[in-house]
Structure 1
């Protein structure tokens, strides 16, 4: 029973009355929209607001007895995820500007059923950063360039760039991203928020613009681990249209209820020393000290010989699956979408080069178009090799050989400059590719800053260990409290940590 006390008279408030005192869905939705309007286009993270959001919230308020666990929670979704309203699902491309399908992705339907309000679509790296090797993360022809809210000339990583920024800048408390390899965890890390890539197969991919059925998964990006866990609980589950999710109903649990701020005590955690560096050393050392104080038993893992062997085979898999999966998706789009195949998209981009190709090209598209299909023996061999090296001989072997339940390491470097000439300059990042290729859970939690720029701590574990990984990260989050609000600085030179060092000395006469 609710035990809130009225300050006047110190009387117990009945549960029904207390519920009435909570903010309405309409109020929460309007507040989110106001924050978007106050910040945009400063960070350029929102492609469009959902025109029916207020009415959806109003309907929730009228039916308060049927409130779900996310009642009235404003959520934004990456614009490669379909929503049934008036907004198109573009994947950032002008080729899909008329892709208004009238259908909710199953994960969106689950959010609505839990009481969430979809308030808009977020910008992303066009085609989820799978168009060209010289791309700029966070740029799309539809949405332009998204900016890091900590320092505006810094990159916010991708491809779920906008989803990371809308949470970091306080527009909403949670958003949905998608990941094939780092596209949830990287933007979460460099934007100082929580990002969780679930086990592949826990959350449906139906009506999500695809890259790879082997590696794709949607997941929550949130201000806190608890909010990420609440959203995951809502969106997880079996979808008959997505064969990968056949075990999801049996595997899922209430992830928020499973959180414990004592979950690290006595747990053996592997420290991925082979995936450290890139300027995060001081923050990582402090994070390890926090894990020890929470009772974790840390085991250093200095080497992993297979780290450099996975990427090549994984890339072959993505090239082959992208063509097959995207062509299958495009076949389901409405007749207003004229690009029905990857070959059509390549031609569209060439015909609209001024808008679509002003900064970088489409060599990944062209390489994917040359692949030979999912029956190609080279594709099958690459998938078997990459899955084995990342899974059975990767994370599974690291856990078993070192008798640990999870692995930790820095997620990625701090944010780099937005660079329109040379494309992304990516200084480096931990071992997230292992979890991405294996399809295993990966959580990033804020672990501090590098000269005012956020960096994250990664937790990874075996397949279906989503609840464990979230709980370990929750314990760390509660003990460390490293999340800080963004400053919206124009450049890093304006930060207190750097500005003094950049000041010139007076001339001596």
Structure 2
């Protein structure tokens, strides 16, 4: 069958740098363009800027054929839902059973084959989404180097850069997903987070990121760090678009026992309505100030955050600034490290055991370390293997060891009654608000959700370069910053409503300085 043609002219076509799902669906529904034309435009945009930002590792060679098939379904009157014919990018640690690699950024996993799509990918395909390609990421989700870990770098994909200042650190580890969404290289993208890896890159690219409750989205056939903290979540231009994507991927998976705890799923899209009026929001200034002492270059973020708090009060939120976490940040970090190390040692071996083909013959963390140190393209020893060294030489036990139980109980106490759940319960809060740069850990260690939305842009006159970061700019004039809303486990609907109203009222995306790189291709 020949390619379907749009009925109306280019005046009806949305600009892809900010196109929402509702706009794209209206165009497809009205015949203004087809999924083939939309997919082709996104592929052209990737081609235009990817040599500069390295956000996309591979594009799907079958994407246009898939789009054509979905156009034919639409023409026959069969529409699967709101994601029908919509191109989506996927982080390179989420398995796809197609012509794309799933490498976690390492040459050691190139050409390894998985038994099937990851559960979240199967759900997306059933919903009619087009898997457009794989996004670059911090290699092994930033879980390799101790002394020279660079956000957004992988041996498979090179160095991702964000778009707001030359040589901008994209943050990690879902670096490419965030940069790709910001530049309109796809409608939205999937990321993963163990502690900050969705929300931090989302904020540095001025987009929305949602780290769901651990267990709301399946992790089966996702290259892991920690089964107790890993979560797959959406990165999108708006909160409502993130809600659409979350709705599509959430759900129980027999291959991920954590998903058995999911309560009845709410309508996340319907939850995107004005929700600040009467919402009880806590601001833990002690933890924020501790973060500022450690990272003084974030002072401008804290000042903008103060204005954001005032704004929430003005529109009717009940803000309580006399709240604090009981646990000390350092104690939580130390406990978290122990649990993550034990989880990774066992979880990565479990993932590798599921591969259908494994050309590098890596089966354990020891194998990964040995071959990484020998492989000419893995940049060792410039980029060290310090985290793996610590695990294998000083901590060599996994989460089946008797020592794991006490270690995990300590983290649960510090991160539970002493952390986010305890604070929410004690003060009867709907959410806790923090600058995104300081927020992720408190949600990570309790398995709780967090949503980040744009809060503004840095106004500093001089760029601040990251220590050990290869000269990349950490903050500087025009670099975006975000505000995060953290809540109880399974409280995504409430958080999305709060974040949606904040995002819609502030409308900060696109109001900062011009990007230093931006694609120009549009639907035609």
TM range (shorter): 0.7 to 0.9
SS at match of 1:445: strand
Q: How does 1:112-151 map to 2 (within 5 A)?
A: 112-134=125-147, 135-151=149-165
Q: 1:404 aligns with which of 407, 418, 429?
A: 429
Confirm or deny that 1:264 pairs with 2:289: no
The equivalent of 1:359 in structure 2 is: 382
| Structure 2 counterparts to residues 186-197 of structure 1, below 5 A | 186-197=200-211
| TM-score (structure 1 length as normaliser) | 0.87
TM-superposed deviation, 1:160: 0.5
* CA–CA separation in structure 1 for the residues paired with 2:96 and 2:305: 39
Residue of structure 2 aligned with 1:303, choices 324, 329, 334: 324
Distance 2:135 2:205 in 1: 15
Counterpart CA distance in 1 for 2:273 and 2:481 is 23
Q: 1:58 maps to which residue?
A: 68
- Rate the CA distance shift 1:87–1:102 in 2: closer, same or farther, 3 A: farther
Name the CA distance, whole Å, in 1 between partners of 2:28 and 2:171.
41
Contact 1:405 1:461 in 2 (8 A): yes
Give 1:292-331 correspondences, 5 Å limit: 292-301=313-322, 303-308=324-329, 309-331=331-353
Query: Does the Cα contact within 8 Å between 1:60 and 1:67 map onto a contact in 2?
Result: no
Q: Distance in 1 between matches of 2:115 and 2:408?
A: 34
Alpha-carbon distance, 1:302 to partner: 5.2
Distance 1:165 1:126, change over 3 A: same
In structure 1, distance between residues paired with 2:286 and 2:129? 41
Kindly provide the CA deviation profile for residues 446-493 of structure 1, in whole angstroms up to 9, marking residues without a partner as x: 000112110000000111101101111001001111112773439xxx
Report the CA distance between 1:304 and its aligned residue.
2.6
The aligned residue for residue 448 of structure 1 is 456
Match of 1:111 in 2: 124
Q: Which runs of 5+ in 1 are unaligned?
A: 1-5, 7-14, 413-429, 491-509
Question: Out of 343, 351, 358, which is 2:366 matched to?
Answer: 343
Shift of 1:18: 8.3
Aligned twin of 1:495? none
TM-score for both structures, normalised by structure 2: 0.84
**Distance (Å, rounded) in 2 between the aligned partners of 1:164 and 1:77:** 11
8 A Cα contact 1:86 1:100, kept in partner: no
Determine the structure 1 residue equivalent to 2:418.
393
1:255-287 CA-partner distances (Å, limit 9, x unpaired): 0112112x1101111012123342212211221
Q: Distance in 2 between matches of 1:33 and 1:331?
A: 34
Determine the structure 1 residue equivalent to 2:87. Answer: 74
Distance, in Å, in 2 between the alignment partners of 1:307 and 1:197 is 23
Quote the RMSD (CA, aligned, Å). Answer: 2.0
Superposition deviation, residue 20 in structure 1: 4.3
State which of 361, 379, 384 in structure 1 corresponds to 2:409. Answer: 384
Deviation at 1:292, TM superposition (A): 1.6
Q: Could you tell me how far 1:103 is from its partner in structure 2?
A: 2.0
Hey, what's the Cα distance between the residues in 1 that align with 2:419 and 2:27?
Answer: 53
Q: 1:433 aligns with which of 441, 447, 450?
A: 441
Q: What does 1:250-261 correspond to in 2, within 5 Å?
A: 250-261=263-274
Q: Contact 2:244–2:269 (CA<8 Å) still a contact in 1?
A: yes
Aligned to 1:10: none
Residues 214-239 of structure 1 deviation map (CA, whole Å, 9 limit, x = unaligned): 00010000000000000000000000
- Contact 1:220 1:232 (8 Å CA) reproduced: yes
1:158 alignment partner in structure 2: 172
Structure 1's 22 and 380: CA in aligned 2 closer, same or farther, altered over 3 A? farther
Determine if the alignment matches structure 1 residue 375 to structure 2 residue 400: yes
Q: 1:457 to 1:18 in 2, by over 3 A?
A: closer
Matched residue SS, 2:345:
helix
Corresponding residue number in structure 2 for 1:460 = 486
> In structure 2, what is the equivalent of residue 229 of structure 1?
243
Q: How many residues align?
A: 459
Q: 1:183 aligns with which of 194, 197, 201?
A: 197
Determine the C-alpha separation between the residues in 2 that align with 1:387 and 1:24: 50
Task: Note if contact 2:324-2:423 (Cα within 8 Å) is conserved in structure 1.
Answer: no
Matches within 5 A, 1:70-109: 70-101=83-114, 103-109=116-122
Q: Could you say which residue in structure 2 is the equivalent of 1:424?
A: none
- Equivalent-residue separation in structure 2 for 1:229 and 1:115 (angstroms): 16
Q: Residue in 2 aligned with 1:423?
A: none
Of structures 1 and 2, the one scoring higher in RCO (CA 8 A, sep 6+) is 2
Distance 1:461 1:336 in 2: 40
Quick one: distance in 1 between partners of 2:397 and 2:318?
48
Give distance in 1, aligned partners of 2:391 and 2:234.
Answer: 29
Closer, same or farther: CA 107–449 of 1 in aligned 2, 3 Å: same
Which residue matches 1:273?
285
